[in-house]
Amino acid sequence: MTTATALAHPNIAFIKYWGNRDDALRIPQNGSISMNLAGLHTHTRVCFDPSYAVDSFTLNNLPQTGAGLERVSQFLDIVRTLAGKNWKAQVESANNFPTGAGIASSAAAFAALAVAASQAIGLDLDERRLSALARRGSGSASRSIPAGYVEWLPGNNDSDSYAVTLAPPAHWDLVDCIAVLKETHKLTGSSEGHLLAGSSPLQQARIGSCGERLQRCRRAIISRDFDALASVVELDSNLMHAVMMTSNPALFYWEPASIEIMKAVPEWRQSGLPACYTLDAGPNVHVLCPADHAAVVRSRLEIIPGVLQVLTATAGGGAHLTAED
Ligand code: DP6
């Protein structure tokens, strides 16, 4: 029996991943940039044993079956092929954030699983290979492997599509204030959504103009220019949601309170409070701001009708092994 445990944070995308060139390998149509979310994490223990007949998977102590187990098992198949071993595994995973709070848990989940499973089976993978491996489980998980502010280089094949650190967490003290609007699971998951991106007449325009937004975002991070970051982050979120809303079938992730916040935040900015919004494939609104403005942003979000709770996260580190429990 060989075991390993690892921890990884979810991340919030500043420049979004939406649509693949290769769905099986999760080679994205465009590069993306994100910040890891400290304080929120997934902790995963993997145990391989030649005597196990099947893979098993528990999430927050609840045994998983069906699609959840299948996705983990398929990911373990990739790890087994790399290692040339056919051992089955026991996977135990726990999130410290509310399950179903609409926080993208697949990024943290597959980043932690990639680190724990590869170590437990005896592979010695560097950060680049871990990121490419995590990508096979969930595209955005590639970005939860390196620390801090991260860019996923889209690449052309399995080995050159991986993420790198643009700047370490301490480079910029941004805070993500997450306005949680719904605690139920989203209707259309990201994996299904990526398949629909190409059916929107706007996707080609989004992809064609993405290089310029990536450049603006990189520069804003490097020079800690919040206004420059705010304009490109809001534009990129709106573009992705325009693609979602014009795909076939159309995907509408926003709730009325999402729009309230999207209208309020630029007004706050104009009146001197540095803050900007971005939304992933769900109604929750991530409001980014410098740390010294987080308390004000949080209290303003908390009184908006429809906001159930506000979680806050600073820039987080990369995925890493942890000591055995
Ligand atoms: C809207 O990484 O969740 O959050 O590869 O199918 O697991 P899969 O998709 P996923 O897609 C993330 C989509 C997004 C934008 C982003 O995080 O870049």
Please give the distance, rounded to the nearest whole angstrom, from the Cα atom of residue 45 to the centre of ligand 1: 23
Atom of ligand 1 nearest to the CA of 107: 2
Q: Is the pLDDT of residue 151 over 70?
A: yes
pLDDT digits over 266-287, tens only? 999 999 999 999 999 999 999 9
Please give the distance, rounded to the nearest whole angstrom, from the Cα atom of residue 325 to the centre of ligand 1: 30
Please give the distance, rounded to the nearest whole angstrom, from the Cα atom of residue 139 to the centre of ligand 1: 6
What CATH number does the domain located at 2-168 have?
3.30.230.10
Residue nearest to atom 7 of ligand 1 (CA): 138
Please give the distance, rounded to the nearest whole angstrom, from the Cα atom of residue 106 to the centre of ligand 1: 8
Domain 171-314 has CATH 2.130.10.10: no
Confidence of residue 189 (pLDDT cuts 50, 70, 90): confident
Top pLDDT among 185 and 87 is at 87
Domain ranges, ordered by start, for the chain: 2-168, 171-314
Q: What is the pairing mode between strands 56-59 and 88-95? A: parallel
The set of protein residues with a Cβ atom below 6 angstroms from ligand 1 is 13, 16-18, 26, 32, 104, 106, 138-140, 190-191, 194, 280-281
Report the distance separating Cα 49 and Cα 186, nearest Å: 35
Please give the distance, rounded to the nearest whole angstrom, from the Cα atom of residue 142 to the centre of ligand 1: 10
Positive or negative, the CA dihedral 64, 65, 71, 72 is positive
**Is the model's pTM score more than 0.95?**
yes
- As a whole-number percent, the residues of the chain with pLDDT over 70 amount to 97
Number of helices (H) and strands (E) in the chain: give both, helices first. 9, 16
Residues 178, 284 contacting (CB under 8 angstroms): yes
